[in-house]
Amino acid sequence: MATKKAPTCLDLCVTTDDFEAAAKETLSEKSWIYASSSASSGLSHQSNLDDWSRINFRPRIMRNVNSIDTSRNILGRKSKLPFFISAMGTLGSSHPGAEPLLVQSATRMGVDAVISTATSKSLEAIMKAHQNEQERLGNLSPSRLAFQLYVPSDRTKARDLIQRVKAAGYQSLWITVDSSTQGKRTADRYLQAQEKLDQGGEVVRQAASDNAFGPAFGGRPTAGYLHPALNWEDLAWISQEWDGPVVLKGVQSVEDVKLAVQYGVQGVLLSNHGGRQIHSAPSALMTLLEIRTYYPEAFDKLEVFVDGGLRDGADVLKALCLGATAVGVGRPYYYALAAYGGEGADKCTEILTEELEICMKMLGVSTLQQLHPDMVNATRLLSEMWRPMTVRSRL
């Protein structure tokens, strides 16, 4: 939980990176390590950050950009913005108001949010906070909530959880598919080891919340929380329980995008879990380029989302130019919430939106529908993209 006052005035936060510095001064060591840590030596997380800068724009000039439309159709509904708040577990480690404050902000600002299974508050309480804010706004906000599902190994518990999500009114189900086990998060491992020494050899397992489906604090899984036997055939019974859009979260290869199309899901989220799972994972942008190169038909068959490492609203446009439907933003919102509460989350959306609008005008587009691959130069990433080992290799 937060232990110190935020060191700077919110008005001095000009970029999303400013929230990270403020959060580091605000959070306890344990909470900071949880939020900032990544797998092994951090290569996956670093590639997430670096790869955005390895794509350049090819702006067009002398175009009428007097009026800008940032709206986007996402899973059958119109969204005000082409980015959303990514799922983040145990948000109570950032701020005591946690998810309710975040979804109230999302609703005010008209941005969608994906809520984690590992919530600090109940999924019903989070939805209620969203609904209350909608009512306050006269139900005029386009914001809606999706639910990120860690499928419990106990199928009865999994069905019960899905039914609760459906009853609460979440719009879509985002199934996490990159977590058959917990990634080795080095900084957190050091912290656990130190805690064990400090406690005379006892393992410290502090509950993150009263959520039975959530992990222990620091993302340390509880028994049955992750499902190592989850497979493609499980989508059949999950779809029977859930009759809305399904998105697979954590897809990292073009082969699995082909399977996602085959199994009839409505979307895939290209993601390496914020660099927190497998060591040396591809960035979402690299996987996006794989799809564009080897299976461009995918963009007509399902919606492709991207998250990981985005820190600037202009980068949203890079992903959209390459075919993405929308982009998820995680840590900047966590840091903004930690340092400044709901007002910080508002400011994070404002910053990203302003950057998006500025870049649209400078790029020469007035609507997102005008974006296309020729508006970016991705040569540097393409030079390192995976290629089949032989000509006869089949995807």
Query: Active-site positions?
Result: 273
| Cα-to-chain-centroid distance, residue 123 | 17
Are 199 and 193 in contact by the 8 Å Cβ rule? The answer is: no
Is 271 assigned a ligand-binding role in the annotation? Answer: yes
CA angle 137, 138, 143 (to 5 degrees): 60
**Residue 273, marked binder:** yes
The answer to whether the annotation marks 330 as part of a ligand binding site is yes
Contact 79, 71 (CB under 8 A): yes
Q: Is 26 known to sit in a ligand binding site?
A: no
Structure tokens at 346: 């508002």
Instruction: Flag whether 307 is marked binding.
Output: yes
- Residue 311, marked binder: yes
88 annotated binding-site participant? yes
116 is in an annotated binding site: yes
Alpha helices in the chain (DSSP H): 17-26, 29-36, 43-52, 98-109, 123-136, 155-168, 186-198, 234-241, 254-262, 284-294, 298-301, 313-321, 331-363, 379-382
276 is in an annotated binding site: yes
Q: How far apart are CA 305 and CA 72, in angstroms?
A: 12
Q: Which two tokens stand for residue 330?
A: 């995680």
Was 164 annotated as part of a binding site? Answer: no
Distance of alpha carbon 56 from its chain centroid, rounded? 23
CA–CA dist 101, 84 (Å, integer): 16
- Ligand-binding annotation for 150, yes or no, is yes
- The answer to whether 28 is annotated as binding is no
37 in a labelled binding site: no
387 in a known ligand binding site = no
The partner residues of 69 in beta bridges, in order of sequence, read 367
Q: Are 175 and 151 in contact (CB under 8 A)?
A: yes
Cα–Cα distance, 250 to 267 (Å, whole number): 11
Q: Does 176 appear as a known binding residue?
A: yes
Q: Which residues define the annotated binding site?
A: 34, 87-89, 116, 148, 150, 176, 185, 249, 271, 273, 276, 307-311, 330-331
Known binding positions for FMN? 87-89, 116, 148, 176, 249, 271, 307-311, 330-331
From the annotation, which residues make up the binding site for glyoxylate?
Answer: 34, 150, 185, 273, 276
